Amino acid sequence: MDFSDSPEEATFRSDARSWLDANATLRDGSEKAQDHFMARDAEEVARARDWQARKAEAGWAGLTWPRAFGGRDATPIEQVIWNQEEGRYAVPPNAFLIGIGLVGPTVMIHGTEAQKAAVLPRALTGEDIWCQLFSEPAAGSDLAGIRTRARRDGDDWVISGQKVWTSGAHYSSHGILLARTDPQVPKHKGLTMFLVDMSDPAIETRPIRQISGGASFNEVFIDDLRVPDSARLGGESEGWKVALTTLMNERFSISVGRASGGARAEELIALATRVERNGRPAIEDGEVRSRIADFVARQRGLEFTSYRVMTSLSRGEAPGEESSIGKLLLGKLRQEMGAFGMELAGTAAGISVKAGDDAARWRNEYLTAPGNRIAGGSDEIQRTIIGERILGLPPDIRLDKSAPFSEL
């Protein structure tokens, strides 16, 4: 495991830091890094678009994209380095993660020349924001079990169905949508991918209010959405192959994002220094110190796991299954730290509505963590990946892979 930058990586880091110094403001000690990719309101969407356009103009957007499509052929580890450096500055959230990290690479592989020309430049500059219309009420982790239907009508397709947990759909301009076009074949074989315009009146987006008070993901209802065959991405009934490309890039995007982030045990230390327990600073209490020490140790373990991913990326290798370990453990750690932060903040943590204060901040961390443990692959999915691909355990017995979907 190599913890240091190579000479080339050090140069890249220096160049990135120089540009960021000239174009952004360092976060002060009271601000936390932007560890989310969803904008919270229209103002934040506008700021994110402006920041994305500035990055694109300077060549810092779509770093790993080929130069032919507007990127700079950067290595995965250079993307990690950029994420690390950008995270030090007070910048808007990366509302373009899906468009640049998932949709763009999928269109490069499976799209027509017309689709590439229409999608890629506008995704890179932030003119278009994309969402991923995959999960459904009856098909979450089992993506191949989707029921949204697309039927052929001349040169068009007519799509109807429902999607759920669609992050950012309420402000996205476009979506990549997986639909069932042939229910008479096994479920993985009758799917087709489409590119859709989220402003079409046949699409209704309803934000889902979360227990944390936020509304970052949505239900999406599609009622006889008519799209031309030119909106089909990849071959008819080849949607599973296209979806695998998208999911592979999702895993990569999450891997490089997590490698640049981490839990925030340091913030608990700062909180324990500010609040009191039994008339003394809480940090002087032995039980508090023990709990925080446990969080610090677990955080360091996750950091070393992320270094394994970074070392693989630095060698030009694909991210391994270690990313599933990191996601599984980080979600649980953040939820436990959120609960302890609420405990330190006191009873106000349950009722405070003042944005940014200790009570509201740690309550939000605690209430948001369960969603993070589902998004991008639930805890159960991560355990399956770890069991089968790392520990070599036998896979679950599946009886639904060969039967026609209509019979399931």
Q: Calculate mean pLDDT across residues 163-173.
A: 95
Reported pTM: 0.85
Domain definitions of the chain by residue range: 7-125, 130-239, 262-390
The confidence band for 1, taking pLDDT boundaries of 50, 70 and 90, is low
pLDDT in tens, 185-226: 999 999 999 999 999 999 999 999 888 778 888 999 999 999
**pLDDT: is 295 or 368 the higher one?**
295
Decide if 125 contacts 61 (C-beta within 8 A): yes
**pLDDT: is 18 or 35 the higher one?**
18
Q: What local confidence, expressed as pLDDT, does residue 317 receive?
A: 67
Residue 250 appears among annotated catalytic residues: yes
Q: What local confidence, expressed as pLDDT, does residue 64 receive?
A: 92
pLDDT in tens, 276-329: 998 999 999 999 999 999 999 998 888 787 777 667 766 766 666 777 888 888
Q: What local confidence, expressed as pLDDT, does residue 262 receive?
A: 47
Region for 138 from its dihedrals, namely left if φ exceeds 0, alpha if ψ lies in -120 to 50, beta otherwise: alpha
Q: At what angle do helices 286-314 and 265-274 cross, to 10 degrees?
A: 160
pLDDT in tens, 64-121: 999 999 999 998 889 889 988 998 899 998 899 999 999 999 999 999 999 999 999 9
Of 250, 276, 321, 365, the active-site residue reads 250
The confidence band for 149, taking pLDDT boundaries of 50, 70 and 90, is very high
Q: For the chain, what percent of residues have pLDDT higher than 70? A: 88
Q: What local confidence, expressed as pLDDT, does residue 16 receive?
A: 97
Positive or negative, the Cα torsion across 261, 343, 356, 272?
A: negative
**CATH number of this structure's domain 130-239:** 2.40.110.10
Level-2 CATH architecture, domain 262-390: Up-down Bundle (1.20)
Can you name the CATH fold of 7-125? Answer: Butyryl-Coa Dehydrogenase, subunit A; domain 1 (1.10.540)
The confidence band for 139, taking pLDDT boundaries of 50, 70 and 90, is confident
